C-alpha cells in the first residue's frame, strides 16, 4: 500500500522582500517548511527582518558576477529531507541550475514561483528561460497572461498555476472596513476638482510627464483636475518644474514617500482614479484594496502581472501606450462618473481583490500544486 508522504517544503529565494512577509508567515503556519533567504540583490528592494519569519532557517550569501549570481550554501540543501524545493524563477542564479539538476537526479519535486515569460524576451533570453523553466516539476506563475505566452512556447498547461500576488490582505481588509470620505484633498488644493493619484517611485522610465500633459489638456477643455504624486523622486524627474512650465503647478501635490497603509487608504479612497503610465505593479493591489480604479497602458508585454486585476469599465481602463490624448480621454471617462457609478466601481474593486489578489487565494493555489502529483 502506497502512503503519500506529507510535503516538507524548502523555500530558496534571492531575498525576502518586505511585502512578502505576510504570505511567508501564512505559508509557515499552513505547511511544514523552512526558508533560506538571500542577503541582497543589485536593485534596491527593502527586505523584512528575517528573524520575524517563523520558518526562517538561514541567510544565503549572494555572490554576484555582473548580472549573474551564486547563492553560497544553497546546493547542499538538496541533500536534506525536503520533498519539495520552491525557488525564484531566476535563471540568472547559477546555483539554482545545479539545484534543479541535482533534485532531478534525486527524484525531488521542484516548483518555480516566477513571473515566467513577459512575451518581449530577446532570442537569447528566450532560449535561456525556456531551458531553465523546463527543469522544474511545476511552475507557479504570477499571471494568466504569462501562462498563455508559455503555452504558446510549448509548456504543459497542466504543470502551470496562476499564483497571482498579494500584500498584507488581512491588514488591508481591516483598514478597508473603516474607510470613509474625507476632506484631505479639498483642504490641500482649496477646490473640489477630481483627483488623480500616482503612487510609486518617481522615475523617468515611469513617464509621469504624461499625467501632467493629460491634466493640462483637461484644463484646456474646461475640465480641471488635481494630481497627487505619492513617492520619492529617485531620478531627478523634477515634476514641479514640468508642471510649472505647463501652468498647472497649483494643481499638483508632491506628497513624498508614504509607507503607512492607513494614510494611503485615505488618499486612494478619496481620489477619483490611480494612473500609472509605466507598468502598474503592486500599486494595483493597493489602489483596488481601497476602492480606487486604475488606468495604465495596454502593452502587456511591458506590464507587471498585477495589470490583470484591471477589468475594463469595472475596475479601470487601459489606454494606448504613449498616447496622451487617449490617457486624457480615459481619465475624463472615470471622473465624469456619477456617485452611483463610483460606488459600483469601488465594489467591483473590492470584489476583484477578495476573489484573487489575496493571501488566501495564494495558499489555496499552493495546496493545489502540492496535491496534484
Shared-domain flag, residues 223 and 91? no
- The SS3 assignment for 191 reads coil
Shared-domain flag, residues 331 and 365? no
Shared-domain flag, residues 249 and 325? yes
Q: Is the pLDDT of residue 28 over 80?
A: yes
Please state, in angstroms and rounded to a whole number, the distance separating the CA atoms of residues 141 and 279. 18
Shared-domain flag, residues 195 and 340? yes
pLDDT, tens digit, 9 for 90 and up, residues 89-134 = 889 999 999 999 999 999 999 999 999 999 999 999 999 999 999 9
Provide mean pLDDT across the span 198-224. Answer: 97
The pLDDT, as a whole number, for residue 373 is 64
Domain count, the chain: 2
Inside any domain, residue 65: yes
The pLDDT, as a whole number, for residue 125 is 94
The pLDDT, as a whole number, for residue 25 is 97
- The SS3 assignment for 19 reads helix
Whether the Cβ atoms of residue 278 and residue 299 lie closer than 8 Å to each other? no
Place of cell 533570453: 125
Shared-domain flag, residues 24 and 35? yes
- DSSP-derived pairing of the beta strands 56-65 and 68-72: antiparallel
The pLDDT, as a whole number, for residue 2 is 44
Q: How far is CA 301 from the centre of its chain?
A: 15
CATH of the domain at 56: 3.40.50.2000
Q: pLDDT confidence of 1, banded at 50, 70, 90?
A: very low
Q: pLDDT confidence of 21, banded at 50, 70, 90?
A: very high
Inside any domain, residue 54: yes
Shared-domain flag, residues 148 and 202? no
Inside any domain, residue 82: yes
Question: pLDDT over 70 for what percent of the chain?
Answer: 99
Question: pLDDT over 90 for what percent of the chain?
Answer: 95
89: which 3 cell numbers? 524563477
Provide mean pLDDT across the span 347-358. Answer: 98
- Across the chain, mean pLDDT equals 96
Query: pTM of this prediction?
Result: 0.94
Provide mean pLDDT across the span 296-318. Answer: 97
Q: Is the pLDDT of residue 45 over 90?
A: no
Inside any domain, residue 1: no
Please state, in angstroms and rounded to a whole number, the distance separating the CA atoms of residues 270 and 163. 30
327: which 3 cell numbers? 490617457
Inside any domain, residue 3: no
Inside any domain, residue 249: yes
Shared-domain flag, residues 244 and 320? yes
The torsion angles phi and psi of 132, rounded to 5 degrees, stand at: -65, -50
pLDDT, tens digit, 9 for 90 and up, residues 130-172 = 999 999 999 999 999 999 999 999 999 999 999 999 999 999 9
Inside any domain, residue 2: no
58: which 3 cell numbers? 538561514
Shared-domain flag, residues 265 and 291? yes
The pLDDT, as a whole number, for residue 332 is 98
Provide mean pLDDT across the span 203-223. Answer: 97
The pLDDT, as a whole number, for residue 44 is 80
Q: Is the pLDDT of residue 187 over 70?
A: yes
Shared-domain flag, residues 34 and 95? yes
Alpha helices in the chain (DSSP H): 21-30, 94-105, 123-134, 144-152, 169-176, 184-189, 209-220, 239-246, 261-270, 283-289, 324-335, 339-355, 359-371
- Who's near 156: CB < 8 A, 6+ residues apart? none
Shared-domain flag, residues 184 and 71? no
Shared-domain flag, residues 160 and 188? no
The domain containing residue 30 runs over which residues? 8-166+358-371
Shared-domain flag, residues 231 and 337? yes
Inside any domain, residue 100: yes
The pLDDT, as a whole number, for residue 4 is 62
Amino acid at each position: 500500500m502506497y502512503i503519500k508522504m506529507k510535503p516538507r517544503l524548502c523555500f530558496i529565494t534571492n531575498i525576502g522582500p518586505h511585502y512578502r512577509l505576510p504570505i511567508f508567515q501564512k505559508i509557515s503556519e499552513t505547511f511544514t517548511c523552512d526558508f533560506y533567504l538571500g542577503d541582497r540583490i543589485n536593485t534596491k528592494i527593502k527586505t523584512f527582518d528575517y528573524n520575524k519569519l517563523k520558518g526562517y532557517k538561514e541567510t544565503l550569501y549572494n555572490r554576484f558576477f555582473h548580472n549573474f549570481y551564486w547563492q553560497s550554501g544553497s546546493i547542499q540543501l538538496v541533500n536534506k529531507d525536503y520533498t519539495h524545493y520552491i525557488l525564484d524563477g531566476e535563471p540568472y542564479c547559477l546555483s539554482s541550475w545545479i539545484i534543479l539538476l541535482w533534485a532531478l537526479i534525486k527524484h525531488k519535486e521542484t516548483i518555480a514561483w516566477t513571473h515566467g515569460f513577459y512575451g518581449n524576451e530577446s532570442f537569447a533570453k528566450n532560449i535561456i528561460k525556456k531551458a531553465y523553466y523546463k527543469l522544474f516539476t511545476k511552475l507557479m506563475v504570477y499571471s494568466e497572461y504569462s501562462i498563455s505566452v508559455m503555452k504558446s512556447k510549448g509548456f504543459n498547461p497542466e504543470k502551470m498555476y496562476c499564483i497571482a500576488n498579494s500584500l498584507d490582505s488581512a491588514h488591508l481588509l481591516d483598514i478597508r472596513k473603516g474607510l470613509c470620505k474625507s476632506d484631505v484633498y479639498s483642504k490641500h488644493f482649496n477646490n473640489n476638482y477630481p483627483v488623480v493619484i500616482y503612487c510609486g517611485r518617481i522615475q523617468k522610465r515611469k513617464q509621469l510627464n504624461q499625467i501632467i500633459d493629460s491634466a493640462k489638456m483637461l484644463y484646456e477643455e474646461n475640465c480641471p483636475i488635481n494630481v497627487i504624486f505619492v513617492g520619492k523622486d529617485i531620478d531627478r524627474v523634477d515634476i514641479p518644474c514640468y508642471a510649472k512650465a505647463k501652468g498647472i503647478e497649483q494643481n499638483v501635490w508632491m506628497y513624498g514617500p508614504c509607507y503607512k497603509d492607513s494614510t494611503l487608504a485615505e488618499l486612494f479612497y478619496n481620489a477619483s482614479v490611480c494612473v500609472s503610465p509605466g507598468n502598474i505593479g503592486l500599486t494595483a493591489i493597493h489602489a483596488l484594496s481601497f476602492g480606487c480604479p486604475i488606468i495604465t497602458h495596454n502593452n502587456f508585454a511591458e506590464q507587471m502581472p498585477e495589470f490583470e486585476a484591471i477589468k475594463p469599465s469595472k475596475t479601470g481602463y487601459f489606454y494606448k501606450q504613449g498616447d496622451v490624448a487617449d490617457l486624457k480621454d480615459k481619465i475624463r471617462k472615470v471622473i465624469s462618473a456619477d456617485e452611483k457609478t463610483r460606488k459600483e466601481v469601488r465594489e467591483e474593486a473590492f470584489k476583484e481583490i477578495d476573489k484573487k489578489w489575496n493571501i488566501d487565494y495564494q495558499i489555496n493555489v499552493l495546496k493545489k500544486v502540492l496535491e496534484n502529483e
